[in-house]
Amino acid sequence: MKYISYLIFFAFIAVLLFFLKNALEPKQEPVRILGSEMCNDCHGLQNMGDQKTPWKNSKHSGAYTVLFSAKAIDFNKANGLASPDKEEKCLKCHTTEFVLKGTEKSKSYNITEGVGCEGCHGAGSEYSPAEIMREESSFIRNGGVKGDEKTCLKCHNTKANKEKTLKDDACPFQETDFDYKTAFDKIKHPVSTELKNR
């Protein structure tokens, strides 16, 4: 009888410790993709320089939609692939979530954004508070990516795809060589100079 009450006592302590440990340990939330709309709550503002509009007007915001075009559908049919919007081999360069494969997604993220802000700047749940983003070093420490030529080469190839076949590092539809300077000029989205000189 005595033995059983000891057992119950220790079991009780064990359960107590388990709950205590869980309550005390800081919860490590996994990094999540927020979606461009969340970024644009701030980055769509005029006094920020408005990075939303250049992105909206760039092909990146239509990178998912273009997978529903006849040329995309025909290519996949002819090559025995799943339909482009379901085919991971296409999605990996045409959507934020597949270029950041394995990263959790917030409800605010929507695949239809195509290649969103986080497709280049990294998943934003940790770095998105403004006080973190104002400091370049804290932005980077919290998973932010500034972006450079290497960022682009995850999806663009320096050489045009003459064979027009699907390659691991080239779209069947990349018809021209990729040059960082000219390409970045087409998608640049600087913050306002007032903000810079603050």
- List residues near ligand HEC by CB under 6 A: 34, 36, 38-43, 51-52, 55, 59-60, 62-63, 66-67, 69, 71-72, 75-76, 81, 84, 87, 89-90, 92-94, 99, 115, 117-121, 124, 128, 130, 133-134, 136, 139, 146-148, 151-152, 154-156, 166, 169-174, 176, 183-184, 186-187, 189-191, 195
Tokens of 149: 């030529």
12 vs 41, beta carbon nearer ligand HEC: 41
Give the span between the Cα atoms of 61 and 135, in whole angstroms.
27
Q: How far is the CB of 4 from ligand HEC (least distance, A)?
A: 57
Which of the 8 DSSP states describes residue 178?
A: -
Residue 102: Cβ within 10 Å count: 6
Q: How far is the CB of 159 from ligand HEC (least distance, A)?
A: 11
18 vs 68, beta carbon nearer ligand HEC: 68
Residue nearest to ligand HEC (CB): 124
Q: How far is the CB of 3 from ligand HEC (least distance, A)?
A: 59
Give the span between the Cα atoms of 77 and 83, in whole angstroms.
7
Q: How far is the CB of 26 from ligand HEC (least distance, A)?
A: 22
Q: For residue 189, which of 58, 64, 100, 99 has the smallest C-alpha distance?
A: 58
Encode 62-116 in three state secondary structure: HCCHHHHCHHHHHHHHHCCCCCCCCCHHHHHHHCHHHHCCCCEECCCCCHHHCCC
105 vs 172, beta carbon nearer ligand HEC: 172
Q: How far is the CB of 52 from ligand HEC (least distance, A)?
A: 5
Tokens of 62: 């239509």
